[in-house]
């Protein structure tokens, strides 16, 4: 794939900003709004922000790690960037759509690439009722919260909560409880990517819950609906030797 107009965006850290200035001088940089590829310099947080900012354009995005985690990033090298972009492999991601209604009746909508997390807001545990495709699968889950993760997000918060790592081609979503109290031994479920998950918060005023889609937070929710929006394609670019599917596989064998 040939790219002629490259834009560089960077995290606010000094290493990322300095790298952006060097690359802008070395390559014919344009603004993100006119680019046919965007190179992100930073970590996974900066990558997620950039994906959200350019949802409507569907422009391919290539990350180079100038941050900490960098799971969605390629190695940082300034030389031969054009060749790397041309040889890069495409990975298509579909975001999750979160539709949340708060206790005061307000409706909120947000997209996420990694996960939707429902989190208790106070000292009292949350009580959740979980339905999948209109059928109640769990009448009451008492917990600190729950996560619905995409394959790309399964190695993030989901993994920290002891959820499964999901390969990109599996067409699955991970539903993972956070510190489940009852049923205590429930470890979650793998759902078809086509599934629509509805979560009803029981006693929402007494046991308030927030819903977080990547970095969009809606507090005091009463009902949340989550599904994968197959009408939206987001394109990430990865070096052939360091593609996302390989990273997800490697993560499962990391001690």
Residue range 228-242: mean pLDDT, rounded? 89
Instruction: Please give the positions annotated as active site.
Output: 44
Question: What are 40-66's pLDDT values in tens digits?
Answer: 999 988 998 999 999 888 899 999 999
> Residue 1 falls within a domain, yes or no?
no
Q: Are residues 89 and 12 in the same domain?
A: yes
> Which structural domain range is residue 73 located in?
6-93+233-251
Q: What are phi and psi of 104, to 5 degrees?
A: -90, 10
Question: What are 72-131's pLDDT values in tens digits?
Answer: 899 999 999 999 999 999 988 899 999 999 999 999 999 999 999 999 999 999 999 999
Q: Are residues 42 and 166 in the same domain?
A: no
What is the full DSSP assignment across 209-242?
EEEEETTEEE-SEEEEEEEE-TT--EEEEE-GGG
Q: Nearest to residue 187, comparing CAs of 160, 164, 213, 154?
A: 164
Q: Are residues 216 and 247 in the same domain?
A: no
For residue 255, what pLDDT is reported?
Answer: 65
| 248 pLDDT above the threshold of 80 | no
CATH number of the domain enclosing 237: 3.40.50.10330
Question: Which 3 state secondary structure label does DSSP give 169?
Answer: helix
Question: What are 151-186's pLDDT values in tens digits?
Answer: 989 988 999 999 998 987 789 999 999 999 999 889
Q: Are residues 49 and 70 in the same domain?
A: yes
Q: Are residues 144 and 67 in the same domain?
A: no
Mean pLDDT of the chain: 92
The tally of domains found in the chain comes to: 2
Q: Are residues 77 and 22 in the same domain?
A: yes
Percent of the chain with pLDDT over 90: 77
């Amino acid at each position: 794939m040939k790219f002629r107009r490259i834009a560089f965006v960077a995290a606010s850290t000094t290493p990322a900003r300095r790298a952006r200035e060097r690359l802008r001088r070395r390559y014919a940089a344009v603004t993100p709004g006119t680019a046919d590829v965007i190179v992100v310099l930073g970590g996974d947080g900066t990558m997620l922000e950039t994906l959200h900012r350019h949802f409507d354009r569907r422009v391919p995005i290539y990350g180079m790690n100038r941050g900490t985690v960098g799971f969605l990033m390629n190695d940082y090298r300034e030389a031969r960037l054009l060749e790397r972009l041309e040889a890069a492999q495409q990975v298509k991601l579909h975001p999750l759509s979160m539709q949340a209604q708060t206790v005061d009746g307000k409706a909120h909508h947000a997209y996420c690439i990694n996960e939707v997390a429902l989190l208790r807001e106070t000292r009292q545990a949350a009580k959740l009722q979980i339905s999948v495709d209109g059928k109640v699968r769990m009448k009451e889950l008492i917990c600190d919260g729950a996560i619905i993760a995409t394959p790309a997000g399964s190695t993030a918060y989901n993994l920290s909560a002891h959820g499964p790592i999901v390969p990109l081609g599996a067409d699955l979503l991970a539903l993972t409880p956070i510190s489940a109290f009852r049923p205590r031994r429930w470890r979650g479920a793998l759902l078809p990517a086509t599934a629509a998950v509805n979560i009803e918060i029981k006693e929402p005023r007494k046991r308030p819950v927030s819903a977080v889609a990547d970095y969009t937070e809606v507090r005091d929710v009463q009902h949340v609906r989550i599904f994968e929006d197959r009408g939206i394609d987001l394109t990430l670019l990865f070096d052939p030797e360091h593609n996302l599917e390989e990273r997800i596989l490697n993560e499962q064998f990391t001690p």
